[in-house]
Amino acid sequence: MATVEAHQQCSVYMEQLLGRTVRYQKHKPGSNLSVERLPEGTFQIESVHRFGNRVVLNDGIIVMENAPTVMERGGRIALLFATGEELYFVAE
């Protein structure tokens, strides 16, 4: 995480990831992030829905209890949560 934060170009909004093809890299787990339905290999981010504070990607593939800070650098996308949880993708 420190590497991404130290060298971030700029943060983006979740909606700016729509249409991107990504591959799961890793995550720092916690109770506010559910990645159990995450597909193997690459997938396209097709939808971002907000229900109050909750953010849902691709109709439930990824469920987040609050909106993360999204940063991209060198083809790596980091979703950083205020709770300390982290989710990383590689853009394809």
What pTM did the predictor assign? Answer: 0.81
Amino acid 4: pLDDT: 52
Rounded CA separation 26/49 (Å): 22
Using pLDDT thresholds of 50, 70 and 90, give the confidence band for residue 8: very low
What φ, ψ does residue 70 adopt, rounded to 5°?
-110, 125
Q: What's the total number of domains in the chain?
A: 1
What φ, ψ does residue 5 adopt, rounded to 5°?
-65, -40
Rounded CA separation 41/21 (Å): 10
pLDDT digits (tens, 9 = 90+) for 58-75: 999 998 988 899 999 889
Provide the residue range defining the domain that includes 17: 2-91
Rounded CA separation 65/21 (Å): 23
* Distant-in-sequence, close-in-space partners of 75: CB < 8 Å, separation ≥ 6: 90, 91
Across the range 18-29, mean pLDDT stands at 93
Across the range 24-40, mean pLDDT stands at 87
User: SS3 for 44?
Assistant: strand
